[in-house]
Amino acid sequence: MNIAFVEIKNFRKLKSCRIDLSPKSTIFVGANNSGKTSAMFALVKFLRKRQLVVEDFTLSNLATIAHLGERYVDEVNPVVPSIDDWKDICPFIDVWLDVREDELRYVANIIPTLSWRSGKIGIRLIYEPKDVEKLFQEYVSAYKLARTRSDKAKLWPLNFTDYLHNKMKTYFVMNAYILDPTKLVDLAEDSIASPQETPYKNSPLDFDPFKKLIKIDIITAQRGLEDSNEDDNDSAIESNLLSAQLRDYYDKQLDPERKPSASDIRALTEMQAAKEVFDKQISKRFQSAMDELAKFGYPGKYNPGIVIEAKTQTSDIISHSTVVKYPIFSDGDNKYKLPEKFNGLGYQNLISMSFKLMSFRDSWINGDRRKADEEEIEAIQPIHLVLIEEPEAHLHVQVQQVFIKNAYDILRNNPLLKNKNDYCTQMIVSTHSSSIALECEFANLRYFRRTKSADGLPISVVINLSNVFGVSTQTSRFVTRYLRTTHCDLFFADAAILIEGAGERMFMPYFLNTYEVLDDAYISILEIGGRYAHYLKPLIDTLGISCLVIADLDSAHGAHGAGVLPKRGKGYFSSNPTIKNWVIKNTDLDYLLDLDFDSKVESNPHIDDAKTRVAYQTPINVTFSDGTEHEFIPTTFEDSLAYTNFDSFKTMKGIGLIKKFKNAFKTENETQISTNVYNAVESTTAKKAEFALDMIYNRDPQSIVIPAYIAEALEWLEKEISSKDNNDFLNKEDE
């Protein structure tokens, strides 16, 4: 048995979405404010806490609630309260399980029909009013009372939403309903889910349907790793506890380590001997856990190991505490150790998460060992759902990769779980880390894409990336390998810029600095080259982000596409596969040189306001010293940059291509300049990365004029991003 998918409606940015869950690991990816955290909160709040607040309602529904409150207090046109008023407002989650026939015993009390034997079982958890009539009466009474007390001061409740801020827990309840598998609807083309109507003809379940089915454990993003004064914090938190008061009294009045008597010394000697025995025993008990921790690469070669030992101060007996310490060095007679908080935050985080995973697993399988023997032993839930929020905090790239590769295996490292399917572990990880995302298979990635509802408000849809490349396994393998080698952040970007080579990659950050909107946006820059860029098209389209592809013109002629100095009217063409296969799909050189701006743009098939534009070198007019203008046709970034900065290159210092361009520009013969520049960039000795570095070394990049084909493309991208209102792109807070 496992959770096949969940459908969430009316919860925060998740207006109506479906999230497919992998049988093992599912990774939530997406840009800031795309809804990843909303999804994690939905799973926690519905399945575990079973309590919501008014802010959890989708933004557009808050306006509906306010309008409903206005109708409630309208004495001219009184309304009869009904649950129908809430059926399109209330947040809910539909949990759909895949259940085998031999697992019927687990779900006997929630099967949809008596004839059901296996397949899908759906349960809706909906947060709705307990008694609509009572809620109506109490609100109207409170609203009118506030108005009779004062007609000037603004007293609570100001409106219905304000009322629910304080009264949500009183009048709302989490109800559970059994759903009909025959009414499941496939996702629409826009990835909007269409959950079935709440079956109000049936009474809600009078028990928690998932209590004996799903065990939920959570590692949140906030893990308390701040390096603060521990003693001060403890005293602030525990000052009202009896144990703290007893310990304080013991320290002051009874501590045998201060001015000990003969009997105190004997007692301390015995305690220290007992401590040595206990330290050896506890080290043995923790050895298996330490062995598991080694799978995450800790301690490794350069990091200290871990020693677990009992505190020796007699005052600590009252608190029964043990501490983790790190051995630093030994002088032969003594070993010197530091407390846990003196280790780096990254390894504190890694150790903390690793032990939590082990604890989650053992608690699920072994239960709570603190319970008395006579207490009833609860059966193991068939599904263990583990939610991990942003595990990358404080972890460097290599440790992030090690963690995500081993986390699921740790959760299954038990004889009852290994190579067996009686019990299912499903791990969900939300992340902003490209290193974590790209360490996983595409089939396990769920991309949260920002879009807008019919009323124009920002919402999110969830895309299953398992089929993004269709049946083309070759393309899928290539893109996966490429993204892993570049560690790109495409899954978290607001827009993407695909570029040809090292020169564009080095200069692009400086070019973006001149555009305020682009400088503030999250833009992924990928150096992939014109031969392979179009293979990313299915992924770009699926992600639904604006994309700028900067390609080289690459003029060619002949059956074999040999490179040639570009000229008009010669029947030449572009040999760049991106120009041939993406957006423009026409390689005729004369056509490309005269192509208008709009014809270089293509709309995204999945989302209207996400477009792709292809940019390539365009003719440049250079004015000679005699005042005459001459057209030059560049074919690469390097010669386009040189022609654009014609006068600067005449005096520029440098070697390699810079020197060749400088020499070419000494004459003012159009034909000779074109030939020399073309031969320079096409030469096998042309080192384009070296050219870019040499340029940056000799000249402030901000003083270099951006080639026109790149400048107009960046202006286009800036307008695209600016056109997305509601601060969709520039909001740095993730919901």
pLDDT, tens digit (0-9, with 9 covering 90-100), for 562-586? 999 999 999 999 999 999 999 999 9
Residue range 218-232, pLDDT digits in tens: 998 865 434 444 444
Q: Classify strands 573-574 and 555-557 as parallel, antiparallel or unpaired.
A: antiparallel
Distances (CA, A) of 727 to 450, 523, 544: 12, 15, 17
Q: In terms of pLDDT, which residue wins out, 167 or 281?
A: 167
Q: What is the DSSP string of 590-627?
A: HHHHT--SGGGEEE-SS-TT-EEEEE----EEEE-TTS
Contact status, residue 436 vs residue 404, Cβ threshold 8 Å: yes
- Arithmetic mean of pLDDT, 498-502: 92
Helix axis angle, 502-513 to 688-698, nearest 10° = 30
Contact status, residue 383 vs residue 215, Cβ threshold 8 Å: yes
Task: Identify the pLDDT of residue 530.
Answer: 83
Contact status, residue 550 vs residue 615, Cβ threshold 8 Å: yes
Helix axis angle, 708-722 to 502-513, nearest 10° = 50
Residue holding tokens 């050896």? 280
Q: Work out the pLDDT band at 674, boundaries 50, 70, 90.
A: very high
- Arithmetic mean of pLDDT, 545-569: 95
Task: Identify the pLDDT of residue 373.
Answer: 58
Contact status, residue 506 vs residue 696, Cβ threshold 8 Å: yes
241-251 per-residue burial string, b: 16 or more CB within 10 A, e: under 16: eeebeebeebe
- Arithmetic mean of pLDDT, 141-156: 86
Residue holding tokens 């959950």? 195
Query: Hey, what are 703's tokens?
Result: 């003083």
Task: Determine which helix (DSSP H) or strand (DSSP E) holds 714, and give its type and residue range.
Answer: helix 708-722
Express as a percent the part of the chain with pLDDT over 70.
Answer: 85
Cα 652 to Cα 534: distance, rounded to the nearest angstrom: 36
- Arithmetic mean of pLDDT, 602-614: 87
Asked if the model's pLDDT at residue 238 lies above 50, the reply is no
Beta-carbon neighbour count of residue 622 at 10 Å?
17
Q: What is the DSSP string of 156-172?
A: SPSSHHHHHHHHHHHHE
79 three-class SS: coil
- Amino acid residing at 615: A
Q: Work out the pLDDT band at 448, boundaries 50, 70, 90.
A: very high
87 Cβ contact partners less than 8 Å away, ≥ 6 residues apart: 197, 198, 200
Query: Hey, what are 344's tokens?
Result: 């780096």
The mean pLDDT value of the chain amounts to 86
Count of helices and strands (H, E) across the chain: 24, 24
Q: In terms of pLDDT, which residue wins out, 529 or 526?
A: 526
Asked if the model's pLDDT at residue 701 lies above 80, the reply is yes
Cα 215 to Cα 217: distance, rounded to the nearest angstrom: 7
Distances (CA, A) of 80 to 72, 74, 77, 86, 201: 8, 11, 10, 13, 20
Express as a percent the part of the chain with pLDDT over 90.
Answer: 60
Range of 227-231, 263-267, 294-298, 693-697 with top mean pLDDT: 693-697
Q: Work out the pLDDT band at 370, boundaries 50, 70, 90.
A: low
Of the candidates 16, 29, 2, which has an alpha carbon nearest to the alpha carbon of residue 483? Answer: 29
Cα 403 to Cα 410: distance, rounded to the nearest angstrom: 10
Global pTM reads: 0.84
Cα 255 to Cα 312: distance, rounded to the nearest angstrom: 12
Beta-carbon neighbour count of residue 358 at 10 Å?
18
Asked if the model's pLDDT at residue 249 lies above 50, the reply is no
Largest CA distance in the chain: 109
Task: Identify the pLDDT of residue 224.
Answer: 45
Residue spans of the domains in the chain: they are: 2-25+33-213, 251-345, 351-369+379-482, 486-722
Computed on alpha carbons and rounded to an integer, the radius of gyration of the chain in Å comes to 33
Three-class HEC string of 293-343? HHHHCCCCCCCCCCEEEECCCHHHHHCCCEEEEEEEEECCCCEEEEEHHHC
Q: In terms of pLDDT, which residue wins out, 230 or 474?
A: 474
487 Cβ contact partners less than 8 Å away, ≥ 6 residues apart: 397, 434, 435, 438
Query: Hey, what are 629's tokens?
Result: 């203008």
The burial class, CB within 10 Å (0-12 / 13-18 / 19+), for 252 is exposed
Contact status, residue 9 vs residue 195, Cβ threshold 8 Å: yes
Q: Work out the pLDDT band at 367, boundaries 50, 70, 90.
A: confident
Query: Hey, what are 413's tokens?
Result: 């490292």
- Amino acid residing at 613: R
Handedness of CA 666, 671, 672, 675 (dihedral sign): positive
Distances (CA, A) of 606 to 340, 451, 545, 611: 50, 10, 10, 10
Task: Determine which helix (DSSP H) or strand (DSSP E) holds 550, and give its type and residue range.
Answer: strand 546-550
Residue range 388-421, pLDDT digits in tens: 999 998 788 888 998 999 999 999 999 999 888 8
701 Cβ contact partners less than 8 Å away, ≥ 6 residues apart: 507, 510, 695
**Phi, psi (5° rounding) for residue 128?**
-145, 165
Asked if the model's pLDDT at residue 320 lies above 70, the reply is no
